[in-house]
Chain A
Amino acid sequence: MKVEGLSLEIEGREIFKGVSFSVNEGEKLFITGDNGCGKSSLIETIMGFLKPKEGKISFKGKELKREEDFKEVRSKIGYVFQNPDDQLFCPTVEEEIAFAPLVKGKNREETEKIVREILREFEIEHLKDRPTHKLSGGEKRIVSIGAVLSMEPEGLILDEPTVGLDRKRFRKLVNFLKETSKTVIVITHERELIEELNWKVFKMGESSP
């Protein structure tokens, strides 16, 4: 993915200007920056939800222009929202994780396998039948990551994934991020995460990494 000279304005207010960075397949990147510098808006622009004022976004060498192009990006890149309450809309944890595989047309056996693996991977089997809106903040966060992973995306964008996680779940997430071979972009302020993973860091408001 390549972002070149991207600028965004909402209702005449400049959100960010001249943002450029690139992430190659399998690469990992942290995006950091001050509050309100437009990190989440940058991701929403990449996913095609906000229209940039100027600049270019390319995915796998192809410039993204039309809604169809962004649809393809959304089907290949899993985006974990900053607020898990925005992400979870299914009645139970199990249905939430099964949503993407079923929408993609996977059959029941395949979906069952994916759901079981994700529940086991994040140690949330006990939450399987719980309504998503009744989970704790940390549980919602983990379920929203699991729900996105069930899409089997090629890449991941995680917006503040460590907020609300206890130590055990934080470690679990760190280990997952260390081990995954997927392309990953993480927006975070968490110094411990940045120091431990030692990935490339792109600070919004500074020049490209």
Chain B
Amino acid sequence: MRGIDPRFKIVSFLFLAWSIALTESIGKVLLYLPLVLATSFLFFRGRRFPFKVFLFADSFILLVLLTQLFLGSKEVALLVFLRSNEILLLSVSLLSSSSLFEVLHALHHLKVPNSLLQVAFLSYRYLNELSRKFELTLKSAKCRGFTPTTSKITYKTYAHLVANLLAYSSFKSEKVYKAMLCRGFNGYFPVFRHFKATTFDYLFLVITVGYGVLVWSL
């Protein structure tokens, strides 16, 4: 699954997710299941299934499921459950098999505006760093005797940590912008390695989209 061109995976995912989301019958939703399971099998082969991710995501639809089970129809509850989990399984196996940068790069080729993608990439890149910085500062505070409780000093320490992080992120953004200017940045973020579509990528797209169209037309 990792070898497939991310552009094809995104197109395939969007089409299948759209068609699953709009399917009204349980029978049809179940017909999508073999394809969803096949892509998941290819992706999860030799690696652990992320049960925690699914439990976490399902906790969001729990309220809808319970409401439908007790106050509405059991069929709707089953439909919501199946549709959301099929889409989630597809997104994990198709999208998370590429790095975020590859997905954003593919979206660029799919004509998503450049500035949006730049913001998404830089946010991911620096949120990661800010989270590391926060953990490091918290560790440093703990090494200096800080123990989080429900006391005033704990809230004050956390306030300082967050304020420090905000100041750091502002400082950091200025520095990074200067570094970009120093290296000739002119608003355009070039990409060096581009995708090369193979026959296998086209075959993958034809099979997945074709399957989706077939089920949709039944």
Contact = CB atoms under 8 A, between A and B. Distances in A.
B180 A79 contact: no
B49 to A, nearest CB: 25
Interface of B: 99, 101, 121-122, 125, 128-129, 172, 175-176, 178-186, 188, 190-193
Nearest to A83: B175
Contact of B175 (A74, A81, A98, A148): A81
B125 A133 contact: yes
Nearest to B133: A85
Instruction: Pick the most buried of A91, A95, A108, A151: most chain B CB atoms within 10 A of its CB.
Output: A91
Interface in A71-105: 74-75, 78-79, 81, 83, 85-87, 89, 91-92, 94-95, 98-100, 102-104
B192 A44 contact: no
B179 A98 contact: no
B180 A89 contact: yes
Given A86-B172, A89-B122, A95 B179 contact: no
Interface in A94-147: 94-95, 98-100, 102-104, 108, 111, 115, 133, 147
A172 B179 CA distance: 24
Contact of B176 (A44, A89, A147): A89
Contacts of A133: 125, 128-129
A115 B172 CA distance: 27
Contacts, number: 64
Range class of the A interface residue count: 20 to 34
Contacts of A49: 178
B175 A103 contact: no
B190 A81 contact: no
A47 interface: yes
A100 B190 CA distance: 9
Contacts of B129: 85, 133
Contacts of A94: 192-193
A79 B178 CA distance: 10
A71 to B, nearest CB: 8
Contact of A95 (B175, B183, B185, B191): B191
Given A98-B190, A111-B192, A75 B176 contact: no
Contact of A103 (B122, B128, B183, B193): B183
A102 B176 contact: no
Contacts of B172: 86
A92 B183 contact: no
Given A83-B175, A111-B192, A115-B192, A103 B125 contact: no
Interface in A36-74: 44, 47, 49, 74
A99 B190 CA distance: 6
Contacts of B190: 98-99, 102-103
27 contacts: A44-B178, A47-B178, A47-B182, A49-B178, A75-B184, A81-B175, A85-B129, A86-B175, A86-B176, A89-B125, A89-B176, A89-B179, A91-B101, A94-B193, A95-B193, A98-B192, A99-B190, A99-B192, A102-B192, A103-B183, A103-B185, A103-B186, A104-B184, A133-B125, A133-B129, A147-B183, A151-B183
Contact of A91 (B99, B181, B184, B186): B99
Instruction: Pick the most buried of B175, B176, B183: most chain A CB atoms within 10 A of its CB.
Output: B183
Given A91-B99, A94-B192, A95-B191, A100 B184 contact: yes
Contacts of B121: 91
A148 B101 contact: no
Contacts of B181: 74
